[in-house]
Copies of this chain bind each other. A is one copy, B any other.
Amino acid sequence: MFKPFSSVVNTSYNRVAGHSLDRLAALSDGIFAVAMTLLVLDLALPSVRSVHHEGQLARLLLQAIAPRFLTYLMSFLTLGIFWVGQQTQLNHLTHADRHLSWIHLAFLFSVTLTPFSTGLLSAFIKFRLALVIYWVNLLLLGAILYGSWGYAVRARLVQEDVTHDTLAAICHRIVIAQSLYALGALLCIFSTYWSIGFIVLVQLNYAVAPPFRHLLHRQAKPQN
């Protein structure tokens, strides 16, 4: 069968490129770590010259820093949730391939956008456009992670002992979360603060609630 030269090269190269799950995980951890820490640069310090006594500093911190602290917390939760989500996927794979690597690079591209969309929302917290851009970022993260799992299943990269239950749980999880984020974004019709509050509550539910639920249901599920 005739194959043009560049196709031969690409085929050989693609068969050997990007097979390391370890390095994909390492790059991801690095990018998440930098993005999570860069978020704090958004909490700009009050100017030294404009503050003359403790009361002024307290007022400035409450007025200028407190709203930014909220978006900072929201974005840290976002990145934490997607870090756990990505890790869960990668832990169930036997190996990566070139296409999976590029799907995850696209995912990491959305991760690096988070400090920008967070900064935009911090600066323009009452603007619906800023909130919609933030939501598009959330949507991108979820959609690419969903696509990545679909690809991994189709390309048979998933470990053999992964049950159908787990396969489905990972997908449902993303769909439910994204539905709630979309609902939160819609609330900006009333006020962007409603949106932010709703999204933070959804995120806290994912992050914090399970331990409490876990305590309530402890007797019902002796094996954890």
Contacts and interface: CB of A to CB of B under 8 A. Distances in A.
> How many monomers of this chain does the complex have?
4
A199 B67 CA distance: 30
Q: How large is the interface on A (under 10, 10 to 19, 20 to 34, 35 or more residues)?
A: 35 or more
The 9 closest A-B pairs by CB, nearest first: A30-B33, A12-B169, A34-B37, A26-B29, A80-B105, A17-B88, A31-B33, A13-B169, A99-B211
Nearest to A54: B129
A-side interface mostly: helix
B18 A27 contact: no
Contacts of A83: 27, 105
5 contacts: A20-B91, A26-B29, A39-B112, A84-B101, A99-B214
A87 B29 contact: no
A57 B124 CA distance: 9
A116 B176 contact: no
A224 interface: yes
A126 to B, nearest CB: 10
